[in-house]
Amino acid sequence: MREVAVIGAGMTKFGELWNMSLRDLFVESALGAMESAGVDTLDSIYIGNMSAGQFVGQEHLGPLMADSLGMAGVPATRVESACASGGMAIRSAFLEVASGASDFVLAAGVEKMNDGADVTGVLATASDQEEEVYYGVTFPGLYAMIARAHMEKYGTTEEDLSWVSVKAHKNGAKNPHAQFRRVMSLEDVMTSSMVAEPLRLLHCSPVTDGGAAVLLCPLDRAKEFTDKPVKILGSGAATSTLALADRADPSHLDAVELSGQRAYEMAGLKPEDIDVAEVHDCFSIAEICCYEALGFVEQGKGKDAAREGITDLGGAIPVNISGGLKSKGHPVGATGVAQAVTIVEQLRGEAGELQVEGARIGLAQNMGGSGASSTVHIFQGV
């Protein structure tokens, strides 16, 4: 396999983007990635998208997006793995370049969630229809069950969950792409409306429109297009049971652990080698569980990480410096690619106020459903 690098990255602002269509979001982010590398041709395109068919009534995204980008004729494929669609698009692009089949491959993610669809119903399609949705469970409900399981097993409290949200908003307030650029206090979080006990409104990621893209090419050609290429050291993916109740331990994200192990093995690295990470904090409990599954802290110790500053900017392992899904926003198909964009900016030293000093190795973890699918990518600045 060939070594692969990211040579360009682009991203829209995240939020309720009423004046932009699905194709507008894709084109803006894709052009940003291509223009930053000075590349005007592509060999292939992958588009991470969870559910444009239900959100905006549009399927068959490959030809639509290729044509909208002025690239009609280029093979373009939509990739779906619920909220992990963006990460899976990056993995598909990585493998195509690594195999030698193509040299310039765009991995993009896009979602338009605010155009009037029943968002709760659309997102519920990522859970088990027969075993979960039929009985009325929603994603806040599923993650509330994960939180309860973690509380019962490890003594996690609502305040522990809330410190994750406080950190997210502190970072997101400094991110120009973020949907919610305002600081939230511990009291703000703990007095917000209850959604699914013990999860409150400010423990939950928002409904978001947005797009993000990265451009990949062989590492041995990367310096032709940028002075700051970022190498993809490892890529891992895994699945678990779709239904939460079918897992041996609902408080443990086994697909995240397995995808992380596979990425670490490919990269020849360990959790302690990671300088900065973006993980899938669709709910505050998810971030806590990801700390543990990725080996940043011991199992059961994730509840202490945000409160003690371990995962803060300047901490032992800074996590979700972008503000994460909680503050930056969560346009489901675009989220995994946006995480990669953040890591690329960090490893290039281009993160401004949010820069992690001396960051050389970064990790992006993206998952779908209640943790039924997960991707992990490890990057290195070169």
Rounded distance between C-alpha atoms, residue 122 and residue 325, angstroms: 18
Q: Evaluate the CA torsion angle 288, 293, 294, 298 in order and state its sign.
A: positive
Active-site residue flag, 177: no
Active-site residue flag, 83: yes
Rounded distance between C-alpha atoms, residue 331 and residue 209, angstroms: 5
Catalytic residue among 60, 83, 204, 377: 83
Catalytic residue among 169, 177, 330, 377: 330
Q: Judge contact between 44 and 102, C-beta under 8 A.
A: yes
Rounded distance between C-alpha atoms, residue 276 and residue 311, angstroms: 9
Fill in the amino acid letter for 9.
A
Which residue, 149, 87, 136, 105, is CA-closest to 286? Answer: 149
Fill in the amino acid letter for 301.
K
Q: Judge contact between 124 and 370, C-beta under 8 A.
A: no
**Helices 61-68 and 22-37: crossing angle, nearest 10°?**
60
For residue 220, the tally of other CB atoms under 10 A from its CB is 10
H/E stretch holding 79 reads: strand 76-79
The tokens for 63 are 């030809």
Q: Judge contact between 344 and 276, C-beta under 8 A.
A: no
Phi then psi for residue 267, to 5 deg, are -80, -15
Rounded distance between C-alpha atoms, residue 172 and residue 338, angstroms: 14
Phi then psi for residue 225, to 5 deg, are -120, -15
Can you list the positions of beta strands (E) in 157-272? Answer: 194-196, 199-200, 210-218, 230-239
Active site positions, annotated: 83, 330
